[in-house]
Amino acid sequence: MTAVSARENRLRPTQRSAVMIAKRALDVVGAVVGLGLLLPAFVLIAIAIKLDSGGPIIFQQRRTGFNAKEFVIFKFRTMTVLEDGAAITQACRGDLRATRVGKFLRRSSIDELPQLLNVLKGEMSLVGPRPHAVAHDREYEVHIADYGFRHHIKPGITGWAQVNGLRGETRSLEKMTERVKLDLWYINHWSLGFDIKILVRTCFEVLRDRAY
């Protein structure tokens, strides 16, 4: 029995329902408040993207979500490419595909904010394992044991792995394995307080400017 299933078995059906209702309530309130406050900024960002380079404002890509169900993630477009196929090149530091505005959006993690719409739709949570492109999931699940257990909970805009420094490109299988370990640890120790702690730590992590 895996650690994930063991934790599920320790919770009665009524407890599991209460846990999921509480998490969903935090997601909805956070997404609604965030979208309401950020709407003026979204308009300015959209204008900047269009003036900087040709192409759509919003980047869309298939990701793997809860119960391995695919969904389309929303991000502000930061690159000159719109990859979503069988082979996708991860973004890296100094990536030449990034636009001028895109470099700022990625560095500040502002490009992730449209995912509040995914949260409102119920496809994502504010906190959870970061969703990867479908092509990358198919690759990693072959090489990393228990990788699929990341899909036992909704993916998040931020997560335990991200606030522990595992953001951006995973240059090696070992790096991704470390990220998966932290994702599974989060799933096994989830609580509403833990989510709030991660959200607060995310604010400080963004200020450290480690994204690209």
- Tens of pLDDT along the chain (212 residues) come to 444 444 444 556 666 677 788 999 999 999 999 999 999 999 999 999 999 988 899 999 999 999 999 999 999 999 887 766 555 666 666 677 889 999 999 888 999 999 999 999 999 999 999 998 888 888 898 889 889 899 999 999 999 999 998 876 666 788 889 999 999 999 999 889 999 999 999 998 887 765 55
- The pLDDT value given to residue 20: 82
DSSP annotation of 49: H
Pairwise CA distance, residues 193 & 23, whole Å: 10
Pairwise CA distance, residues 22 & 66, whole Å: 17
Strands 156-158 and 125-127, sheet pairing: parallel
- The pLDDT value given to residue 3: 46
- The pLDDT value given to residue 166: 84
Q: What is the pTM of this model?
A: 0.85
- SS3 sequence, 77-141? CCECCCCCCCCCCCCCCCCCCECHHHHHHHHHCHHHCCHHHHHHHCCCEEECCCCCEHHHHHHHH
Q: Tokens in use for 52?
A: 């900087």
Ramachandran quadrant class, 93 (left: phi over 0; alpha: psi -120 to 50; beta: rest): beta
- The pLDDT value given to residue 170: 67
Other C-beta atoms closer than 10 Å to the C-beta of 3 total 14
Number of C-alpha atoms within 13 angstroms, CB side, residue 144?
A: 23
The residues facing 158 across adjacent strands are 127
Q: Tokens in use for 26?
A: 């935090």
